[in-house]
Structure 1
Amino acid sequence: MSTTVYFVRHAEPNYQNHDDAQRELTEKGLQVSIKVTEYLKDKGVHQIYSSPFKRAVDTIKHLSETLNLQIHQKEDFRERKIDNVWIEDFDSFVKQQWQNFAYKLKDGESLGEVQERQVRGLNELLVLHPNETIVVGSHGTALSTLINYYSPNFGLQEFQKIKSIFPFLVKFTFTQQTCLSVTLINILEDPVYEKSLV
C-alpha cells in the first residue's frame, strides 16, 4: 500500500495584484484550472488541501466541487515570503536564493525555511491519511523546494524550466514517510507530459 500526493502549482495569476495572499487568477487561469479537474477527477482522490493563498485555492476549487470534497487550508503550504516590499530585480533574487538556501531579504524567507515547512506539512498529511490519495494546492517556488528535498539535483536550472508553466503537477508516492517516486506532470501538453525524477 502507498500514499499518493498530487501537488498542484496554481494556474496563471494576475501579477497586477501585488497582494501575495489575495492575488487572484486571470480569466485564462480560471479556464485552464478545469484541466486540473479533468486530469485528477478519476484518480481516486480522498482529501484536498491547499495553501491559504487565493490563487492556489481557486485552482483546485472546481475539482473540490466536482468531487464534493472540502478544501482544507494549511499554512505550511503557502508560498515563500519575499519581503514586505515588491522587488523589481526578481530574477537576480531568485538566483541568489537557489545558490544559497539560507539567503533571504530582511522580512522574507529563505528557501531552506520554505522547504522545512513544506516537508513538515507533507509529513503531517502522510500520518493523517496513510494509503490515501491527496491533492494539495501549491505554488511554484514552494513546490520546487519540496521537489529539491526528495530530488537534490532539482535546482535553479530545473526551476527555470517550469516556472512559466501554469499550472503544473507533481506526483509524490510514499510508503509511510519514505518517498518512492517523484513525477513532474505537465497537463497542458497533449498528450500529458510526465517526467520521473526519483
Structure 2
Amino acid sequence: MVTKLYFVRHADPNYDNHNDYERELSAKGLLDRHLVSDFLKDKPITAVFSSPYVRAVETIRPFAESRRLSIQVDDDFRERRITDQWIADFKSFSEQQWQDFSYKLEGGESLSEVQERNIRALERLLVDFAGQELVIGSHGTALSTIIHYFDPSFSYVDFEKIKGLMPWLVCLTFEGQHCLSIESINLFEKKTR
C-alpha cells in the first residue's frame, strides 16, 4: 500500500520576530504560500498536519481551507530548538550541528533529537493513514533531518542549497514503512529535480 507524504517547508518568515513559535510569515511569505496550494490542488490529499509554529501553519492554511480540511497540529513536527539566545553566526552553528548530529547548545536540541521526534511522528502517520496522501507543514532543518534519515548522503552542503528556498516541498513515497522515493520540488521553478 503506497502512502505519499508532502512535506511543506514554510514560506518566508518575518525575521524581526525572534519568538520561534510565534514567528509569522512576511508579506512575501503570505504571497508565496499560494505556490503550495497551486501545486497541491490536483492531489487527492485526505488530511493535513503541521508543526505548531505559526509560520508552518500559515503556509498550508489556504490549501487546507480550500479542501475544508482541519490542520492537525503535531508538536513532534516542530523545528529544532536552538537555545534561549538569538544566534548571530547561524551558519557556523548549523555547520557544526551537521558535522556532529549530537552537538547542541545549552537548552537546545541536537539534529539527532530533532530527527528522532520527526521520524516518530512520520511513522505514526504511515500507520494511521496508510495508503493515503497527506500534507505536513514543516521547517528547513526538521525536513532536512527527515531526508537525511532515509538518504544519509543528504548533508550540510544540501542543507545550504535549500536554505533560501521557502516554501519548499518534498514528497516522500512509502510502501508500508519503506521509503521508495524522495522528490524535492522547487515551487518557484515549477519543475521537479
The two structures have a TM-score, normalised by structure 1, of 0.96
Is 1:4 matched up with 2:37? no
Deviating beyond 6 angstroms after TM superposition, the runs of 4 or more aligned structure 1 residues are none
Q: CA RMSD in A?
A: 0.6
Match of 2:142 in 1: 142
Equivalent residues in 2 for 1:64-143 (5 A)? 64-143=64-143
Identity %: 52
Q: Separation in 2 of the partners of 1:177 and 1:47?
A: 18
Q: Secondary structure at the match of 2:182?
A: strand
Match of 2:24 in 1: 24
Match of 2:191 in 1: 193
Q: Separation in 1 of the partners of 2:130 and 2:145?
A: 23
Q: Which amino acid aligns with 2:40?
A: L
Q: Separation in 1 of the partners of 2:22 and 2:191?
A: 30
Q: Secondary structure at the match of 1:130?
A: coil
- The offset of 1:194, in angstroms, is 1.4
In the alignment of these two chains, the number of paired residues is 193
Q: Secondary structure at the match of 1:47?
A: strand
Q: Which amino acid aligns with 1:126?
A: L
Q: Separation in 2 of the partners of 1:187 and 1:162?
A: 12
For 1:57-92, what per-residue CA distance to the aligned partner results, in whole angstroms no more than 9, with x for missing partners? 000000001011010000010000000111111111
Q: Separation in 2 of the partners of 1:2 and 1:47?
A: 15
Is 1:45 matched up with 2:45? yes
For 1:39-68, what per-residue CA distance to the aligned partner results, in whole angstroms no more than 9, with x for missing partners? 001110001000000000000000001011
Q: Separation in 2 of the partners of 1:52 and 1:2?
A: 27
Q: Which consecutive residues of structure 1, in runs of 5 or more, have no partner in the other structure? A: none
Q: Secondary structure at the match of 1:61?
A: helix
Q: Which amino acid aligns with 1:14?
A: N
Q: Separation in 1 of the partners of 2:67 and 2:32?
A: 18
- The offset of 1:193, in angstroms, is 2.6
Q: Separation in 1 of the partners of 2:192 and 2:109?
A: 30
